[in-house]
């Protein structure tokens, strides 16, 4: 079984052009076990200094956010030649899958569901956009990638905004084009 830092990899959840997400677990004394999602830079991107800086920014920015509707970051590290982010594993589906389901069924989600999702996302965005640092100075954070694939709905009914990878913040290491 492959490990990433102190995490055992169970299986791949998904991959994109620059990173992959792995379902992993950490274990401890007395049978302690916690599932996490590991986002890891692909080996082909590990040499790309600009992408590595963006990845570090994502971890740094996301770690400053603590809100019930934002996926939590637990750890940022390096295993071998690749950086990784250990984050909250949200067992469920993204909003894209929910939309696809209702399209196939020929209907729309119940109004209560839509209102809950919209309210949760707006609450997360408001929190992130108004968040200050430890001295109260605004972070100047803007998510910039609000898409259905970045809104996760857990099987227990939680709604979580994820992926602050291209967020704009006042104190970034790397500035994206058009920032």
Q: Which of 81, 94, 145, 163 is catalytic?
A: 145
* 145 part of the active site: yes
- The pairs formed by 117-125 with CB atoms below 8 angstroms and a separation of 24 or more are 117/151, 117/153, 117/159, 120/69, 120/159, 120/160, 120/161, 121/69, 121/146, 121/151, 121/159, 121/161, 123/67, 123/69, 124/67, 124/69, 124/70, 124/160, 124/161, 125/161
Which residues have a catalytic role annotated?
A: 145
């Amino acid at each position: 079984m492959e490990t990433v830092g102190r995490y055992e990899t169970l299986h791949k959840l998904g991959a994109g052009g620059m990173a992959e997400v792995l379902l992993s677990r950490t274990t401890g004394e007395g049978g302690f076990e916690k599932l996490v999602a590991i986002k890891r830079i692909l080996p082909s991107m590990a040499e790309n200094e600009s992408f590595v800086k963006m990845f570090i920014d994502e971890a740094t920015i996301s770690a400053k956010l603590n809100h019930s509707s934002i996926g939590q970051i637990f750890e940022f590290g390096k295993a071998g030649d690749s950086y990784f982010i250990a984050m909250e594993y949200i067992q469920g589906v993204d909003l894209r899958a929910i939309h696809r389901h209702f399209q196939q069924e020929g209907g729309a989600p119940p109004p209560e569901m839509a209102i809950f999702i919209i309210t949760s996302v707006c609450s997360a965005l408001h929190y992130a956009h108004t968040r200050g640092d430890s001295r109260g100075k605004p972070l100047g954070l803007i998510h910039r990638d609000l898409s259905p694939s970045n809104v996760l709905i857990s099987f227990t009914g939680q709604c979580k905004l994820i992926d602050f990878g291209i967020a704009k913040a006042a104190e970034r290491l790397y500035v994206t084009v058009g920032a």
